[in-house]
Amino acid sequence: DTAVSQTPKYLVTQMGNDKSIKCEQNLGHDTMYWYKQDSKKFLKIMFSYNNKELIINETVPNRFSPKSPDKAHLNLHINSLELGDSAVYFCASSPGQKNIQYFGAGTRLSVL
Protein backbone atom coordinates (compact mmCIF):
# COMPACT_ATOMS: atom_id res chain seq x y z
CA ASP A 1 0.00 0.00 0.00
CA THR A 2 1.66 3.19 -1.20
CA ALA A 3 1.70 5.81 1.56
CA VAL A 4 1.84 8.92 -0.65
CA SER A 5 0.78 8.40 -4.24
CA GLN A 6 0.84 10.88 -7.10
CA THR A 7 -0.62 10.69 -10.55
CA PRO A 8 0.45 10.88 -13.24
CA LYS A 9 4.11 9.83 -12.97
CA TYR A 10 4.97 11.46 -16.27
CA LEU A 11 3.42 14.44 -17.99
CA VAL A 12 4.56 15.73 -21.38
CA THR A 13 2.67 18.71 -22.71
CA GLN A 14 2.90 21.80 -24.89
CA MET A 15 3.49 25.35 -23.70
CA GLY A 16 0.28 27.14 -22.89
CA ASN A 17 -1.66 24.04 -21.87
CA ASP A 18 -3.30 23.50 -18.47
CA LYS A 19 -2.57 20.34 -16.47
CA SER A 20 -3.30 18.84 -13.07
CA ILE A 21 -1.39 16.54 -10.74
CA LYS A 22 -3.16 14.59 -8.02
CA CYS A 23 -1.84 13.43 -4.66
CA GLU A 24 -3.29 11.16 -2.01
CA GLN A 25 -1.87 10.02 1.31
CA ASN A 26 -3.16 7.17 3.48
CA LEU A 27 -0.97 7.93 6.49
CA GLY A 28 -3.57 9.97 8.34
CA HIS A 29 -1.35 13.05 8.34
CA ASP A 30 -2.86 16.50 8.69
CA THR A 31 -0.28 18.37 6.62
CA MET A 32 0.51 18.01 2.93
CA TYR A 33 3.01 19.78 0.68
CA TRP A 34 3.94 20.41 -2.91
CA TYR A 35 7.64 20.69 -3.82
CA LYS A 36 9.39 21.45 -7.10
CA GLN A 37 12.74 19.80 -7.81
CA ASP A 38 14.78 21.19 -10.66
CA SER A 39 17.38 19.39 -12.74
CA LYS A 40 20.08 20.21 -10.18
CA LYS A 41 18.13 18.38 -7.47
CA PHE A 42 17.25 21.56 -5.60
CA LEU A 43 14.03 20.84 -3.69
CA LYS A 44 11.90 23.92 -3.15
CA ILE A 45 8.65 24.06 -1.21
CA MET A 46 5.71 25.55 -3.08
CA PHE A 47 2.65 25.08 -0.87
CA SER A 48 1.59 23.56 2.40
CA TYR A 49 -1.90 22.65 3.56
CA ASN A 50 -2.94 21.72 7.07
CA ASN A 51 -6.28 19.96 7.30
CA LYS A 52 -7.48 21.48 4.00
CA GLU A 53 -6.30 25.00 4.88
CA LEU A 54 -3.49 26.74 2.97
CA ILE A 55 -0.74 27.68 5.41
CA ILE A 56 2.33 28.18 3.23
CA ASN A 57 2.49 29.79 -0.21
CA GLU A 58 6.09 30.37 -1.18
CA THR A 59 5.79 33.15 -3.79
CA VAL A 60 4.70 30.75 -6.48
CA PRO A 61 3.21 32.27 -9.70
CA ASN A 62 -0.57 32.35 -9.50
CA ARG A 63 -0.69 30.04 -12.54
CA PHE A 64 -0.21 27.33 -9.89
CA SER A 65 -3.32 26.65 -7.84
CA PRO A 66 -3.41 23.96 -5.18
CA LYS A 67 -6.67 22.45 -3.97
CA SER A 68 -7.29 20.22 -0.99
CA PRO A 69 -10.75 18.61 -1.05
CA ASP A 70 -9.97 16.78 2.20
CA LYS A 71 -6.93 16.26 4.37
CA ALA A 72 -5.91 13.10 2.50
CA HIS A 73 -5.78 14.78 -0.91
CA LEU A 74 -3.85 17.69 -2.34
CA ASN A 75 -4.01 18.47 -6.03
CA LEU A 76 -2.01 20.93 -8.08
CA HIS A 77 -3.41 22.66 -11.14
CA ILE A 78 -1.10 24.58 -13.46
CA ASN A 79 -2.42 27.03 -16.04
CA SER A 80 -0.64 28.29 -19.14
CA LEU A 81 2.37 26.02 -18.77
CA GLU A 82 5.78 27.53 -19.51
CA LEU A 83 9.11 25.92 -20.43
CA GLY A 84 10.47 26.83 -16.99
CA ASP A 85 7.80 24.72 -15.33
CA SER A 86 9.60 21.58 -16.49
CA ALA A 87 10.70 19.82 -13.31
CA VAL A 88 9.80 16.99 -10.99
CA TYR A 89 6.92 17.84 -8.66
CA PHE A 90 6.76 16.01 -5.36
CA CYS A 91 3.87 15.71 -3.00
CA ALA A 92 4.65 15.04 0.66
CA SER A 93 2.80 14.66 3.91
CA SER A 94 3.87 15.10 7.51
CA PRO A 95 2.45 14.11 10.89
CA GLY A 96 3.70 17.42 12.26
CA GLN A 97 6.13 16.12 14.82
CA LYS A 98 9.63 17.18 13.79
CA ASN A 99 8.13 17.95 10.37
CA ILE A 100 9.32 14.58 9.00
CA GLN A 101 8.32 14.48 5.36
CA TYR A 102 6.95 11.45 3.55
CA PHE A 103 7.31 11.92 -0.19
CA GLY A 104 5.53 10.51 -3.17
CA ALA A 105 7.48 9.16 -6.14
CA GLY A 106 7.16 12.43 -8.06
CA THR A 107 5.57 13.63 -11.29
CA ARG A 108 8.01 14.41 -14.09
CA LEU A 109 6.63 17.33 -16.04
CA SER A 110 8.13 18.20 -19.42
CA VAL A 111 6.85 21.30 -21.17
CA LEU A 112 7.73 21.40 -24.88
Could you list the residues that contact another protein (CB under 8 A)? 4, 31, 33, 40-45, 48, 50, 55-56, 90, 92, 98-106
Nearer to another protein, 91 or 111 (CB): 91
Q: Are 75 and 33 in contact (CB under 8 A)?
A: no
Q: Report the nearest approach of another protein to the CB of residue 16 (Å).
A: 27
Q: Locate the DSSP E strands across 38-111.
A: 43-50, 53-57, 64-70, 73-78, 87-94, 102-103, 107-111
Write down the least CB distance from residue 106 to another protein, Å.
6
What's the closest the beta carbon of residue 62 comes to another protein, in angstroms?
20
Are 4 and 73 contacting, i.e. CB atoms less than 8 angstroms apart?
no
